[in-house]
C-alpha cells in the first residue's frame, strides 16, 4: 500500500515513513512540539484561533465545517469546564487515513490536541477511537505516557502554567458514533443516539459543557498551521479550502493507499491513471465514490477529460463532494446496483434506530433491493426506491439518513441501465404488484 | 386497594431477588480503576469496563458480569443491557474463541470479500453468524473496518489480517487450530 504526498511536500505525512516514527524522539527530532512551544511562549488563545481561521482549515471528518469558526463558537465566559474531543471513530466506508496518522505519528495528534485545548481553555480531553482500532488505542496510550514523562502532558506543561490531560476512550462498533453528538452520548456511557441541535456541542456538549469535537486529520493539521502561519498553510491549497488533504484510495487501482494532495489538486483523472497507477488489468474505469460512501457517485464520463479539481468547491461543481476523502474506485466489472445495495445494507445495519424515517426507511430500502435481486423486480422499482429515499432525506434526525439517501439517488440517476437491467430480468410485474417486499 | 404509582413517583425499589455477581482479581479491579479515573462521571467508563468484563467472563457479558457492572457503575441492570445491546462489539451471547470477522463493505466486497467468507465456511463448516460445535470458531460478516486499502481483510479478536487470499485464510485457520495465533482478545 502506498503512503505519501503527490503534488506537494508531505506535511501530515512528513514522518510516517521514518523508522520508529511513533516515538517521541523521532517526532521531536523532526520538528515535533515546536508549535506547542511557540504557542506557550507567547501566543494568546485568541491568537491561536485567529491563525486557524486564517488557515481556511475545514473539518476533515466529512462535513467540511471551518475549524476556526467552530472553535470561535465556544463561549469564553462560561464557568463550566471545557472539553476537546478527538473524533477517531473513523468508520466511513472507504476511509482509513486517520488510522495511519495515529499508528505512525501519534504525537502529532497529541500536539494538535494540546494546542486546541490551550486555545479553548480545556483541561481534560478525550480521544474517542472506534473499538475495532484497539491497537491504535494501545499506540496512543504509549505515546501519551511518553509525553507525560517528558513534561508535555499533565501539570505545568513545558514549565508553564498550562495544565492539560488527554485520555483515550474506546467505542464498541457503531458507525453512528462518528456523528459528533452521538459520540458525546457514547462518551457519557449511553447508547450512541444523536442529540438535537441546537444547542451545539460548542455550547452544551460533553456533560453539558462547552465542547469541540474535531477529526484526527483536522487536529493533526494544527501544529503545522502554527509553525508556518495560517496564511502560508492556506496558500498550500485554495482560497476556501486551505492546506493539504489526505485521500484514502481503495478499490480497483494498481496502487491503493493514503495520498496527501494539496487542496485544489488539478485533475482527478490524472490522479487515478497516473498517481494511483490506473485501473488494473487494462480494464475501464466505471465509477468513483470520491469522499466516503456517503457522497454522490461519479461515473467515469464525469471524470475523464473533465479536469475535476480536487477540493470542496471543485468536487461540488463536478457533482459530488470531498466528504472524508474515502476514494473508492470501481472498474467496469462492478454492477452499480450491487454496489449500491451493499452500501444500503451498511446504512441499514448502522442506523441507530432513534428516528423513524431512517430506521424504517433503510430497512425498506434493503427489502426492495433484496426483492429485486431475487428476480422479483417490478418496472417501477427504481421510482419506489427514490420515493422511500425522499421520505428519509432531510427528514431524519441526523445526517445518517441523508448519507443513506445520496448513494441511491445518484446511482439511479447516473447508472439507470444497471438498475433497469436488474428490474427487467425480474418477474415481479407478473405477480400483480403485491407488496411482497 | 392496590398501591398506585403516579408517573412522577420514583420507581419502586428493585425487587430483592438474590443474584449472582461476578468477582474479579485485584489486578482486573485495578485495571478498571484506571479507566474510571479518566472521567468525572462513572458511567462514562461503561464501554471500557464492558470490554474487560467480556474478556474475563469467557467472551461475553453474562448475567453475573452485567450485575457486577451495574453495581460498579451505580446504575441499574437495565442501563447496562441498554448499552450492551446497542454496540456490535459487545457480545451478549457466547462466541467462539477465535471470532473471524470478515469485512463485507464495498471496498472489500469488490476486492473479493465474498471469497474470503466462502473459504472460511469451506474450512470451518459454519456460515456467517454461526459458531463451530467445539466453540473454537465463530464467523461473522461485519461492516467497514477501515482497512479498505488492504482489502479484503478480516479481524480476529482485535487483530487485523489484510490483503487476504484463499491461501492466507487457510494458513490463518491452521495457525488458530494449532494455537500459534493469539485469539486477539485483550
- Distances from the Cα of A324 to the Cα of A88, A176, A217, A321, A340, angstroms: 12, 15, 10, 9, 18
Residues of A in contact with B147 (CB under 8 A): 96, 99
- DSSP-based three-state secondary structure for A162: coil
Q: What is the pLDDT of residues A266-299, one digit of tens each?
A: 999 999 999 999 999 999 999 999 999 999 999 9
Sign of the torsion formed by the C-alpha atoms of B79, B61, B41 and A113? negative
**Alpha carbon of B38: minimum distance to chain A alpha carbons (Å):** 7
- In percent, the amount of chain A with pLDDT more than 90 equals 95
Predicted TM-score (pTM) of this structure: 0.94
CB pair distance less than 8 Å for A258 and B149: yes
* Average confidence (pLDDT) over A95-116: 98
Asked if the C-beta of A172 comes within 8 angstroms of chain B's C-beta atoms, the answer is yes
Pick the residue from chain B with its C-alpha nearest to A134. Answer: B158
* Average confidence (pLDDT) over A357-370: 98
How high is the pLDDT of residue A369?
97
How high is the pLDDT of residue B66?
96
A218's torsion region: left (phi>0), alpha (psi -120 to 50) or beta?
Answer: alpha
Q: What is the pLDDT of residues A392-401, one digit of tens each?
A: 999 999 999 9
CB pair distance less than 8 Å for A174 and B88: yes
How high is the pLDDT of residue B27?
98
Helices (H), A96-245: 97-104, 106-120, 134-149, 180-187, 216-228, 230-236
The contacts of residue B150 (CB under 8 Å, 6+ apart) are A1, A256, B162, B163
Q: What is the pLDDT of residues A165-218, one digit of tens each?
A: 999 999 999 999 999 999 999 999 999 999 999 999 999 999 999 999 999 999
Q: What is the pLDDT of residues A373-390, one digit of tens each?
A: 999 999 899 999 999 999
| pLDDT above 70 (res A432) | no
How high is the pLDDT of residue B18?
59
Mean pLDDT of chain A, nearest integer: 95
Please, which pLDDT band fits residue A424 given cuts at 50, 70 and 90? confident
Asked if the C-beta of A351 comes within 8 angstroms of chain B's C-beta atoms, the answer is no
How high is the pLDDT of residue A16?
96
How high is the pLDDT of residue A307?
95
- DSSP-based three-state secondary structure for A8: coil
How high is the pLDDT of residue A435?
46
Q: Hey, which residues 248-267 in chain A have their CB within 8 Å of chain B?
A: 248-252, 256-258
Q: Tell me, what DSSP letter sits at residue B14?
A: P
Helices (H), A248-306: 268-270
Pick the residue from chain A with its C-alpha nearest to B49. Answer: A170
Asked if the C-beta of A90 comes within 8 angstroms of chain B's C-beta atoms, the answer is yes
Asked if the C-beta of B185 comes within 8 angstroms of chain A's C-beta atoms, the answer is no
Q: What is the pLDDT of residues A44-75, one digit of tens each?
A: 999 999 999 999 999 999 999 999 999 999 99
- Distances from the Cα of B104 to the Cα of A287, B77, B108, B154, B156, angstroms: 19, 34, 6, 9, 15
How high is the pLDDT of residue A428?
58
How high is the pLDDT of residue A423?
85
**Alpha carbon of A432: minimum distance to chain B alpha carbons (Å):** 34
Tell me which residue of A343, A386, A383 sits closest to A366, measured CA to CA: A343
| pLDDT above 70 (res A367) | yes
Residues of B in contact with A61 (CB under 8 A): none
CB A297 within 8 A of CB A289: yes
How high is the pLDDT of residue A321?
96
Strands (E), A177-284: 211-215, 244-251, 257-262
How high is the pLDDT of residue A135?
97
Pairing between strand B98-103 and B154-156? antiparallel
Cell of A46: 485568541
| pLDDT above 90 (res A219) | yes
- Interior CA angle at A62 toward A58 and A65, to 5°? 35
| pLDDT above 50 (res A430) | no
How high is the pLDDT of residue A436?
47
Tell me which residue of A404, A394, A324 sits closest to A365, measured CA to CA: A404
The contacts of residue A412 (CB under 8 Å, 6+ apart) are A382, A385, A386, A419
CB pair distance less than 8 Å for A91 and B38: no
Dist. CA A397–CA A108, nearest whole Å? 34
What is the Cα gyration radius of chain A? 22
Residues of chain B with pLDDT under 50: 1-5, 7, 9, 15
CB pair distance less than 8 Å for A328 and B89: no
Asked if the C-beta of B32 comes within 8 angstroms of chain A's C-beta atoms, the answer is no
3-state secondary structure A25-50: HHHHHCCCCHHHHHHHHHCCHHHHHH
| pLDDT above 80 (res A114) | yes
How high is the pLDDT of residue B185?
83
Kindly state the greatest CA–CA separation across chain A: 79
Amino acid at each position: 500500500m502506498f503512503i505519501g504526498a503527490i503534488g506537494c511536500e508531505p506535511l501530515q505525512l512528513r514522518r510516517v515513513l521514518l523508522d520508529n516514527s511513533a516515538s517521541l524522539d523521532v517526532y521531536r527530532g523532526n520538528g515535533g512540539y515546536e508549535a506547542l512551544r511557540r504557542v506557550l511562549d507567547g501566543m494568546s488563545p485568541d491568537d491561536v484561533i485567529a491563525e486557524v481561521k486564517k488557515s481556511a482549515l475545514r473539518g476533515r471528518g466529512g462535513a467540511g465545517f471551518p475549524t476556526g469558526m467552530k472553535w470561535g463558537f465556544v463561549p469564553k465566559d462560561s464557568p463550566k469546564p471545557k472539553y476537546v474531543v478527538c473524533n477517531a471513530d473513523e468508520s466511513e466506508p472507504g476511509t482509513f487515513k486517520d488510522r495511519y496518522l495515529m499508528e505512525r505519528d501519534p504525537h502529532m495528534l497529541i500536539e494538535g490536541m494540546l494546542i486546541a485545548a490551550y486555545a479553548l481553555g480545556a483541561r481534560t480531553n478525550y480521544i474517542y477511537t472506534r473499538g475495532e482500532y484497539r491497537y491504535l488505542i494501545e499506540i496512543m496510550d504509549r505515546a501519551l505516557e511518553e509525553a507525560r514523562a517528558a513534561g508535555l502532558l499533565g501539570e505545568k506543561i513545558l514549565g508553564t502554567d498550562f495544565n492539560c490531560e488527554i485520555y483515550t476512550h474506546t467505542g464498541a462498533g457503531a458507525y453512528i458514533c462518528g456523528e459528533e453528538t452521538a459520540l458525546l452520548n457514547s462518551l457519557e456511557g449511553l447508547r450512541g443516539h444523536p442529540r438535537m441541535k441546537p444547542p451545539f456541542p460548542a455550547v452544551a456538549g460533553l456533560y453539558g459543557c462547552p465542547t469541540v469535537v474535531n477529526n484526527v486529520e483536522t487536529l493533526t493539521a494544527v501544529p503545522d498551521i502554527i509553525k508556518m502561519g495560517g496564511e502560508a498553510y492556506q496558500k498550500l491549497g485554495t482560497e476556501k479550502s486551505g492546506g493539504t488533504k489526505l485521500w484514502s484510495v481503495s478499490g480497483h487501482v494498481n496502487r491503493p493507499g493514503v495520498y496527501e494532495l494539496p487542496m485544489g489538486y488539478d485533475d482527478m483523472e490524472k490522479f487515478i491513471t497516473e498517481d494511483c497507477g490506473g485501473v488494473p488489468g487494462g480494464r475501464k474505469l466505471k465509477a468513483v465514490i470520491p469522499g466516503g460512501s456517503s457522497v454522490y457517485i461519479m461515473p467515469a464520463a464525469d471524470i475523464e477529460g473533465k479536469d475535476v479539481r480536487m477540493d470542496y468547491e471543485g468536487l461540488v461543481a463536478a457533482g459530488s463532494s470531498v466528504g472524508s476523502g474515502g476514494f473508492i474506485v470501481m472498474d467496469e466489472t462492478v454492477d452499480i446496483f450491487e454496489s449500491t445495495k451493499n452500501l444500503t445494507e451498511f446504512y441499514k445495519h448502522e442506523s441507530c434506530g432513534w428516528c423513524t424515517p431512517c430506521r424504517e426507511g433503510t430497512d425498506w430500502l434493503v427489502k426492495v433491493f433484496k426483492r429485486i435481486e431475487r428476480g422479483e423486480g417490478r418496472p417501477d422499482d427504481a421510482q419506489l426506491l427514490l420515493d422511500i429515499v425522499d421520505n428519509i432525506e432531510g427528514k431524519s434526525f441526523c445526517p445518517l439518513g441523508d448519507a443513506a439517501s445520496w448513494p441511491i439517488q445518484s446511482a439511479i440517476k447516473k447508472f439507470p441501465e444497471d438498475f433497469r437491467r436488474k428490474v427487467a430480468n425480474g418477474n415481479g410485474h407478473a405477480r400483480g404488484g403485491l407488496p411482497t417486499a | 386497594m392496590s398501591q398506585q404509582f403516579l408517573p412522577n413517583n420514583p420507581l419502586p425499589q428493585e425487587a430483592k431477588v438474590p443474584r449472582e455477581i461476578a468477582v474479579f482479581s485485584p489486578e482486573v479491579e485495578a485495571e478498571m480503576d484506571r479507566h474510571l479515573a479518566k472521567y468525572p462521571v462513572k458511567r462514562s467508563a461503561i464501554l471500557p469496563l464492558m470490554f474487560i468484563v467480556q474478556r474475563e467472563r469467557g467472551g461475553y457479558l453474562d448475567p453475573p458480569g452485567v450485575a457486577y457492572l451495574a453495581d460498579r457503575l451505580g446504575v441499574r441492570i437495565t442501563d447496562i443491557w441498554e448499552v450492551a445491546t446497542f454496540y456490535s462489539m459487545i457480545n451478549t451471547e457466547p462466541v467462539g474463541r477465535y471470532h473471524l470477522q470478515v469485512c463485507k463493505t464495498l471496498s472489500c466486497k469488490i476486492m473479493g470479500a465474498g471469497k474470503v467468507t466462502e473459504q472460511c465456511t469451506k474450512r470451518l463448516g459454519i456460515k456467517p453468524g454461526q459458531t463451530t460445535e467445539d466453540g473454537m470458531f465463530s464467523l461473522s460478516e461485519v461492516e467497514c473496518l477501515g482497512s479498505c486499502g488492504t482489502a479484503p481483510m478480516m479481524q480476529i479478536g482485535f487483530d487485523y489480517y489484510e490483503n487476504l487470499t484463499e491461501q492466507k485464510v487457510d494458513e490463518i485457520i491452521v495457525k488458530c487450530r494449532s494455537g500459534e495465533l493469539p485469539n486477539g482478545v485483550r
